[in-house]
Structure 1
């Protein structure tokens, strides 16, 4: 995939996360700046989702750790073990918010 295609696909990932957060009952602020989507929770904790264009990966940072995902067969799969991006983002948001969250 070209860099332009990667940027389009990763923009769609950011948009999906932001749209899903519009419907939640808990307090979370999202801020997208360039390649980074920062989610800040009421207690000041953060979940960071960013894209790394050079590797064509999306990275996730949360209390549980840091993770890298690559698009394989239409799914963002963890490059260092088991896991799928949206499932892991949902788990991180739930842990930080102290409330259930799902896409």
Structure 2
């Protein structure tokens, strides 16, 4: 992977995250706030907890920080996969949103 490919993949991931958050907020009637600033998305919940997603360009990784734990993801077989648990980014992110939204 090169830098341009990494940026394309992370841009796609950030767009998917924003769409997911919009849908989740509408479906669960919850006020989620998120802000994208460069290579960082910060999701803020009504209970004042946060989820932070950021890119680590030198490592070609995406990092996810939740209230409980941090995760590092590598792009493997067309998916962002946690390098410790082998779970997909979307599965871990969705679970974290649900837990922190207290739904």
**What TM-score do you get using the length of structure 2 for normalisation?**
0.91
* Structure with the higher helix share, 1 or 2: 2
| 2:32 matched residue in structure 1 | 28
Regions of 4+ moved over 2 Å: none
**What TM-score do you get using the length of structure 1 for normalisation?**
0.91
Gaps of 5+ in 2: none
| 1:64 matched residue in structure 2 | 68
Structure 2 residue 23 is the aligned partner of structure 1 residue 16: no
Gaps of 5+ in 1: none
Task: Please give the root-mean-square deviation of Cα atoms over the aligned residues, in Å.
Answer: 0.9
Aligned residue pairs: how many? 99
Q: 1:92 aligns to what SS in structure 2?
A: helix
CA distance in 2, matches of 1:86, 1:45: 19
CA distance in 2, matches of 1:38, 1:58: 14
Among candidates 79, 82, 97, match of residue 78 of structure 1: 82
